Structure 1
């Protein structure tokens, strides 16, 4: 039963918000610190993204177990242990001195952080009476969007004034406050007859998804299928996912009930949210590298110019909630979001090394509007044809695809950046020679003479930066195509039944 005391409800809300914001903040606060982490941990731009990918892989593996863990340990105990584990892993991330260390502790951090958002959502729904649950989800949605707003700015400030390690240490005070307030959360208690865990299916899923992410992240470094490691990982991916799907369709209590994907809206909606995850997290990887490594922004400045994307998303989410409440067809809202997201991404494909901060702020704000208009309506469409009994299992699939899409998106975008940078360097480098009259005219116009020093400057500075910019533009183009790929999927979704607006008027 929801607590009658509004003060108790406020404390429960604060506890859940602190835990969820801490977890969401960690997804974005690390991004602006990546260029600084590269130097400290002796990693290149492709390798350092493992600090993001390992976290998301752990989320993918643990998310399907959330319901089973709640049945065995109860909501409050699971949240308390998750907060404690998350804080300890954050402290260990902060003291890392090698790439292997940060990847390990980020993986453990992702294991403990996976349950915070879904269990927090369940606690919030239970704390509010039915007529106020929409308000509870709106509050939680604003908290979730604080991550993209505060993350880059706070991460930049901490990195510039202290060090990149403080983007992890900052979780400690948040976690302590969340742990103390979580004592007010009523415990749901253990289930008298918890479902059995399909450990074999869980192991197959972990092997399949883990190997897939490793292939995408290591493929470019290992020259793809000329490497024995990549071949072995690809075989593990195929075998793990094949037998995971087979087992999920044949056992009585699978880890993920893939039989629900017979529902067209859930299957298409889950695929759409996976592509959305690619666009969202891919963008959050590209921008800090471009702003700090190529345009030479300080981390705090990079965070400031990235923050408007979060503001745009938060405003659009509130607008989408109001439009859905008035009965507007969610398909139309998602299509509008795709248009905004694609236009904002197209603007980024026009970037060069001389752009002003406004060229980062406005496309980011427009793209953020697209993110906000897509999220809630797509969730509504995916669940509109499911029965109430199926929604919990459907939520596991939907969240799994969103996180998996983000994990794959980070790996793919990083590979595209690295590969296309090498292609650009080779193509443009061929024109830098003493026999190119256009280059000689450029040097004379700039007051330079074609000597050995000039060739070194051209090769080491200008060519490297221009080639890196080309790789980044190709990665932005991939994000643009991600948005466009969502459009035909949305048109295939069934239109949900008419919704009754809050004032009792029939929905449009």
Structure 2
């Protein structure tokens, strides 16, 4: 490692233009990468017609992006050894931009799927390498500021993505959901080229364990596909999902065994002997579950059942992101002043759980204020959890171990998000169906309450009345599924408490 050069180039004070430029460059990379996970969601219906695809086929534009990220993210440490952090992040930004342009130029489903996969693969290292650069660039006593800045970038995508995607799609074209990366990427590339030193490249990099790579790609790839497609295919009622489940279990098991029994593993899973990293990675997985799970529930609730337009729904959801930014800024300052990370996380969990508990009173007639304020409280909690959790997770790792540890940490965040999306989608679907069956059983021509309800609604028994009843029943059944999903998120927040209590209180 070129450690002396690293220390000399990163010896600036926090307020120096040099360090500020590095922070802006890394933030731009992270925002660009995370934004592309969510910005395309609202554009999918518009993409179907242009790319001659149906609603199930077009979801591969999302699935392949996440699939590539999940496979490549754990390779971060190995790639840094071979190319160095500067070269890796520069090539990642350049490749991400090229793939963004080509995704916007796609005219068939095959093209968009291919370029989205390449975009995810080339962009997978942006967050962990950027994370490692900030950890190494800031002095230890100022690291809280660095992590708060980083967290604000990772929170921006899930919050701003649907809003920005809605405006771009409606006012310009779905293709601008990809073209918007160009100015951000060019700013990031220029600043990285000017200010990031060349370091991290090893004179004797580890040989590539190709067999380990095959097992990892099979295991994580099948797991991501299973989570992405499970709900729409009916989980265990689908032979394809069962095959994916078996492949995921076999691949991950063989990858773990291979990694623990070779001298130069593809991913150094032995780092998980560090209790702080292991528990921190589990905690960030639950954090990803809560964050992305919320981002699944709210757009469906607001647009499909409350009648909000995409832009309005995004604006109503945005205060949660503002709450997260405020609490992350506070978390950075508190950590710099010696605050106890464990107590900060517990306070964050309490706020997050409180905001989610308030969401359990949602119905189909509430005002926007009842969406905004629980969101703000939940956002304050998410911000207070993420930064101290990162600080505790990396407290006992050396600088040489940071890039690889960051790859594992971010893999768990991505997987947590995928698991959260899968679980929340399944809960809403299954519980809504169960509620439909339960409530629908009470609607029949022999019900004493039915004529009175129809009379009060100005309806008479007939085709129109049954259509109205069916729509009303579907809305209330879906609302039951949404409330059950919020209940699951509430207990997910509470589970973080158990992890925090087991972590070493050292930062």
Measured after TM superposition, the shift of residue 16 of structure 1 is 2.9
Which residue number corresponds to residue 456 of structure 1?
Answer: 467
Q: Give the equivalent residue in structure 1 for 2:414.
A: 403
Aligned twin of 1:30: 40
The answer to whether residue 86 in structure 2 is matched with residue 76 in structure 1 is: yes
Aligned residue number for residue 475 of structure 2: 465
Aligned mate of 2:298, from 282, 287, 294: 287
The match for 1:172 among 166, 177, 182 is: 182
Q: Could you list the runs of 5+ residues in structure 2 that have no partner in the other structure?
A: 1-7
- How do residues 270-285 of structure 1 correspond to structure 2 at under 5 angstroms? 270-285=281-296
Question: Distance in 2 between the 1:420 and 1:95 partners?
Answer: 40
Q: Give the RMSD, CA atoms, in angstroms.
A: 2.8
* 2-structure distance, mates of 1:399, 1:147: 15
Provide the TM-score with structure 1 as the length reference: 0.88
Are the counterparts in 2 of residues 60 and 403 from structure 1 also a CA contact under 8 Å?
yes
| Structure 1 pair 246–126 and aligned structure 2 pair: CA distance change class (3 A) | closer
Aligned to 1:437: 448
Structure 1 moving runs of 4+ over 6 Å: 97-100
- Could you tell me how far 1:449 is from its partner in structure 2? 1.0
2:193 & 2:399 partners in 1: Cα distance?
Answer: 30
1:380 pairs with 2:391: yes
The change in CA–CA distance for 1:351 and 1:9 in structure 2 (over 3 A counts) is: same
Taking the aligned partners of 1:450 and 1:386, their CA distance within structure 2 comes to 70
Q: Distance in 1 between matches of 2:306 and 2:181?
A: 29
Q: Structure 1 residue aligned with 2:349, among 338, 346, 350? A: 338
- Correspondence list, 1:35-434, <5 A: 41-43=53-55, 51-95=61-105, 102-124=112-134, 135-188=145-198, 190-434=201-445
- In the alignment, what sits opposite 2:3? none
Describe the SS at the equivalent of 2:308.
coil
Judge conservation of contact 1:275–1:486 (CA < 8 Å) in 2. Answer: yes
Contact persistence 2:163–2:315 (CA under 8 A):
yes
Task: Quote the Cα distance in structure 2 between the aligned partners of 1:150 and 1:82.
Answer: 23
CA contact (8 A) 1:49 1:414 kept: no
Q: Does 1:15 align with 2:22?
A: no
1:36-88, Cα deviation, whole Å (9 max, x unpaired): 667875316xx766544433332221112122222322333322321222223
CA distance in 1, matches of 2:478, 2:108: 25
Q: What's 1:2 paired with?
A: 9
Alpha-carbon contact 1:29-1:151 (below 8 Å) kept = yes
Whether the aligned pair in 2 keeps the contact of 1:8 and 1:184 (CA below 8 Å) is no
Q: 8 Å contact 2:145–2:329 — kept in the other structure?
A: no
**CA shift in 2, pair 1:263/1:177, >3 Å:** closer
TM-score (norm 2): 0.88
Q: Give the Cα separation in 2 of the matches to 1:335 and 1:464.
A: 38
Counterparts of 2:422 and 2:80 in 1: how far apart (Å)?
31
Q: Report which stretch shifted further, 123-132 or 107-116.
A: 123-132
